[in-house]
Chains A and B, each alone.
Chain A
Amino acid sequence: GIQVEQSPPDLILQEGANSTLRCNFSDSVNNLQWFHQNPWGQLINLFYIPSGTKQNGRLSATTVATERYSLLYISSSQTTDSGVYFCAVGASNFGNEKLTFGTGTRLTIIP
């Protein structure tokens, strides 16, 4: 199956700082999504981004499918951004909705 690696595993930042989270994957994918898991365990879908660039407020994401990586940018961090960020990918041999998750990046924003 597809291998998904995320870096860094842990990130501690001061409020207001910017951050870049990386997701590398081992094979061609048709589906790539970024999720934020809040401290209560709820997974929130941030982006569906199998290729290209998208922005939503302070968050943006870029996927370079040919080079098999995706980046999630968080600008002007707030304490509510704390939690674990997961990258998940899917490939067309399943119809691309069966997602394989990375190990996540745990982000802690200090006031």
Chain B
Amino acid sequence: EADIYQTPRYLVIGTGKKITLECSQTMGHDKMYWYQQDPGMELHLIHYSYGVNSTEKGDLSSESTVSRIRTEHFPLTLESARPSHTSQYLCASSERTKAFFGQGTRLTVV
């Protein structure tokens, strides 16, 4: 049903490294989102985009940044990873109604 892909699925990385989490969708949706989810907890919106060259911060403050150069691509970057960034990151896209989620990236910073 949903054609939205995230890579990598799992990432273990050392403190201070720069990382980019990839998210791509083939549905032509203008709206895309990044959510952060700790184990067993609710999802919190950290970034969203209405379309190319449009990005906004979400409800939960995050040290990550995003870009939207192409409609189908919405990468998230952490310039210097820290253990507090350990979490699951979920990408989604939508039109007017349903939102579709990727499989998520489980990030562990050691």
Give me the interface of A with B, judged by CB distance under 8 Å.
Answer: 1, 31, 33, 35, 40-45, 48, 84, 86, 88, 96-104, 106
A96 vs B101: C-alpha distance in the bound complex, in angstroms?
17
- The contact string, 1 if C-beta is below 8 Å from chain A, for chain B 33-50, is 101000011111100100
Known: A41-B88, A41-B104, A98-B48. A31 touches B97 (CB 8 A): yes
What chain B residues lie within 8 Å of A102 (beta carbons)? 42
A88 vs B92: C-alpha distance in the bound complex, in angstroms?
13
A17 vs B31: C-alpha distance in the bound complex, in angstroms?
38
Report whether B42 and A97 are in contact in the complex, using a CB–CB cutoff of 8 Å.
no
What chain A residues lie within 8 Å of B95 (beta carbons)? 97
Report whether A45 and B42 are in contact in the complex, using a CB–CB cutoff of 8 Å.
no
Interface size bucket, B side?
20 to 34
Report whether A99 and B99 are in contact in the complex, using a CB–CB cutoff of 8 Å.
yes
- The contact string, 1 if C-beta is below 8 Å from chain A, for chain B 13-40, is 0000000000000000001010100001
- The contact string, 1 if C-beta is below 8 Å from chain A, for chain B 92-103, is 101111111101
Known: A97-B31, A99-B99. A41 touches B43 (CB 8 A): no
What chain A residues lie within 8 Å of B96 (beta carbons)? 96-97
Determine which residue in B33, B44, B101 has the highest number of CB atoms from chain A within 10 A of its CB, and name it: B101
Report whether B100 and A45 are in contact in the complex, using a CB–CB cutoff of 8 Å.
yes
A100 vs B96: C-alpha distance in the bound complex, in angstroms?
15
Report whether A41 and B106 are in contact in the complex, using a CB–CB cutoff of 8 Å.
yes
Q: List 17 A-B contacts (CB under 8 A).
A: A1-B59, A31-B97, A40-B103, A41-B103, A41-B104, A45-B2, A45-B98, A45-B101, A48-B98, A84-B40, A96-B96, A97-B95, A97-B99, A98-B45, A99-B45, A99-B99, A103-B42
Which residue on chain A has the smallest CB distance to residue B50?
A: A95
Q: Does B107 contact A (CB under 8 A)?
A: no
Which B residues between 53 and 110 are near A, CB-CB below 8 angstroms?
58-59, 88, 90, 92, 94-101, 103-104, 106
